[in-house]
Amino acid sequence: MFDVPVPDPAARTAALERLDGLVKPLGALGRLEEIAAWLAAAHGTVPPRPLDDVRVVVFAGDHGVSALSAYPREVTAAMVRVFLAGKSGVNVLAAQVGARVRVADIAVDWDGADVPASVTAHKIRRGSGSIDVEDALLPGEAQAAFEAGRAIALEEREADVLIPGDMGIGNTAMCAALVAASLGLPATEVVGTGTGVDAAGLERKTAAVAAALTRTAGRTEDPFERLTALGSACMAATAGFLVQAAVLGIPVLLDGVFSGAAALVARDIAPGAEQWWLAGHRSTEPSQAFALKALGLEPILDFGLRLGEGSGAVQAVPTLRAARAILAEMGLLADLA
């Protein structure tokens, strides 16, 4: 069991009272007011602390169902180098909000000997099994990867906000299977086009997810068994990262379909952890909508994004900062002359 703290209810109440007293009609700032009260509860103070230190951790790994993707598996390893060079989508977007990006190779199918040791420090394995015909992980690997994710969160514990990113060709099929197994849904409702497969590709992808669900029927009630059967090492690491962030009381902005699926599993492992997470944006993948509904989370942004990497969540950071600013800087009706 994990000792997940409860966001400070007194701070939330105080924030709501202050919001009602600001120089505006009641509730006029809508969702910003909800987010402001959430941040105040997370920080235990009104106004919340400045959100200066925002960190993205991209969990990278290959998936056995990568043949279903519109892109070859080798792209994952190539993208790790792009992250390190600061040239990826999330690098560029994170720079706009002053966020730092770290990439962690949890299960990339490459040697990786020429990258900094910190990138591969928590590596569990090379790739994962093809979930339509075999388990993704060996016994014990899901737990090991979960602990690796917890360790990474501890290494980033000075952050004001944490964002889990992802990189791995084939990951949307795995996410669909994991969400379906978590919520008892059929493959046809959760599978999307991912990186942009055509109609025939979507049919093959749906069939593979359906086969994975049939193969693992009756085995997925336990979250670690679910990760072993249908997940991946980087998915398990992301779940550990989310749980440890909640234990530490660090606010988290979830990204897209990958972190949504990880959050479902993390919530099963550590009930109450979801109180520390916000959904940064709405993915085009259908399984994310099911995951967020189950978690009781409403996306902040809806830009039609499907890049992953944490790229959607970083664009929600200015909204969090704006929510904090209204508590910190707006005047009170009571002070009007």
Give the fold, CATH level 3, of 52-318: Rossmann fold (3.40.50)
Considering the candidates 74, 134, 309, 329, report the single residue annotated as catalytic: 309
Q: Which amino acid is at 11?
A: A
User: What is the CATH architecture assignment of 7-47+321-333?
Assistant: Orthogonal Bundle (1.10)
User: Tens of pLDDT along 141-193?
Assistant: 999 999 999 999 999 999 999 999 999 988 899 999 999 999 999 999 999 88
Q: How far apart are CA 180 and CA 182, in angstroms?
A: 5
User: Tens of pLDDT along 17-39?
Assistant: 999 999 999 999 999 999 999 99
Q: How far apart are CA 283 and CA 5, in angstroms?
A: 29
**Does the annotation count 309 as an active-site position?**
yes
What is the rounded average pLDDT for all residues in the chain? Answer: 95
Residue span(s) of the chain under CATH 1.10.1610.10 come to 7-47+321-333
67 has pLDDT over 80 = no
Q: What is the pLDDT of residue 94?
A: 98
196 has pLDDT over 80 = no
User: Tens of pLDDT along 85-131?
Assistant: 999 999 999 999 999 999 999 999 999 999 999 999 999 999 999 99
Alpha-carbon torsion (79, 259, 243, 38), positive or negative = positive
Chain position carrying tokens 């795995």: 174
What is the mean predicted confidence (pLDDT) over 297-319?
95
Collapsed DSSP state (helix, strand, coil) of residue 296: coil
68 has pLDDT over 70 = no
267 has pLDDT over 80 = yes
Q: How far apart are CA 308 and CA 7, in angstroms?
A: 28
46: left (phi over 0), alpha (psi -120 to 50) or beta: beta
Higher pLDDT, 202 or 134: 134
Cβ atoms of 76 and 248 closer than 8 Å: no
Residue span(s) of the chain under CATH 3.40.50.10210 come to 52-318
User: Tens of pLDDT along 71-93?
Assistant: 677 889 999 999 999 999 999 99
Neighbours of 272 (CB within 10 A): 14
